[in-house]
């Protein structure tokens, strides 16, 4: 399924075949946190309805991984977003997030949650931009996950963006 095409970039649902390429894209773009290839394959296959990849000339140039919270499917938890150098300068991250939110599968989503470290200024800007585009409020719960919770990884704050305004059902 193709969500959108612009500037030679195609946004589409991932397949399990995209998992290794997604993993490689993460490795090439620090400071993104790497997960196992197996985790990325499962994200691309099991959560394809709530993940997206961006492709240009047959290569992945961006992705968003996320899922609906099992206890509250009205909340989309964005796990990770990444854009390669080749994909930058097009507002690709925001476009990918909004393309996922526009899917019929996400028709009941009213809120987006994500966690961000204190030092990740780029992600903070991205999610503020998304909140502005959604005409939504963004709130931060500082140190939602402490360093102890994360085994020494820097603490992460929980960001909530609500209410979302992306139109639904564009499949």
The answer to whether residue 94 sits within a structural domain is yes
- Per-residue pLDDT tens digits for 52-90: 999 999 999 999 999 999 999 999 999 999 999 989 988
Residue 96 in any domain: the answer is yes
pTM of the model: 0.93
Domain assignment present for residue 167? The answer is no
Give domain status of residue 81, yes or no.
Answer: yes
Contact 36, 71 (CB under 8 A): no
Residue 153: predicted pLDDT:
77
Structure tokens given for 43:
């994200």
CATH number, position 154: 3.40.630.30
In 3D space, the residue among 141, 140, 136, 139 whose CA is nearest the CA of residue 163 turns out to be 136
Q: Which domain holds residue 129?
A: 2-162
- Name the nearest CA neighbour of 108 among 80, 72, 161, 66: 72
For 125-168, the pLDDT digits (tens) are 999 999 999 999 999 998 777 666 767 778 889 999 999 998 77
Q: Specify the pLDDT at position 148.
A: 67
Count up the domains in the chain and report the number: 1
C-beta separation of 100 from 64 below 8 A? yes
Q: How confident is the model at residue 18 (pLDDT cuts 50, 70, 90)?
A: very high
171: confidence class by pLDDT, cuts 50, 70, 90 = very low
| Inter-residue contact 47 to 39 (CB < 8 Å) | no
Is 70 inside any structural domain? yes
Upstream peptide bond of 163 is cis (omega within 30 degrees of 0): yes
Phi-psi region of 52 (alpha: psi -120 to 50; beta: other; left: phi over 0): beta
- Examine residue 169 and state whether it is found in any structural domain, yes or no: no
- On whether residue 170 sits in a domain, the answer given is no
Q: Mean pLDDT for the chain? A: 92
Residue 20 placed within a domain: yes
């Amino acid at each position: 399924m193709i969500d959108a095409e612009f500037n030679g970039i195609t946004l589409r649902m991932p397949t399990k075949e995209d998992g290794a390429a997604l993993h490689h894209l993460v490795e090439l773009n620090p400071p993104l946190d790497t997960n196992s290839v197996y985790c990325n394959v499962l994200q691309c296959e099991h959560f394809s309805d709530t993940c997206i990849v961006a492709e240009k000339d047959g290569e992945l140039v961006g992705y968003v991984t996320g899922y609906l919270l099992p206890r509250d499917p009205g909340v989309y938890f964005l796990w990770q977003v990444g854009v390669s150098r080749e994909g930058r300068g097009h507002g690709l991250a925001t476009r990918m997030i909004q393309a996922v939110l526009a899917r019929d599968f996400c028709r009941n989503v009213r809120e987006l949650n994500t966690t961000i470290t204190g030092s990740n200024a780029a992600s903070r800007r991205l999610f503020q931009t998304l909140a502005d585009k959604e005409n939504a409020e963004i709130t931060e719960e500082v140190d939602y996950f402490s360093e102890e919770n994360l085994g020494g990884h820097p603490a992460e704050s929980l960001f909530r963006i609500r209410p979302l305004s992306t139109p639904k059902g564009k499949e």
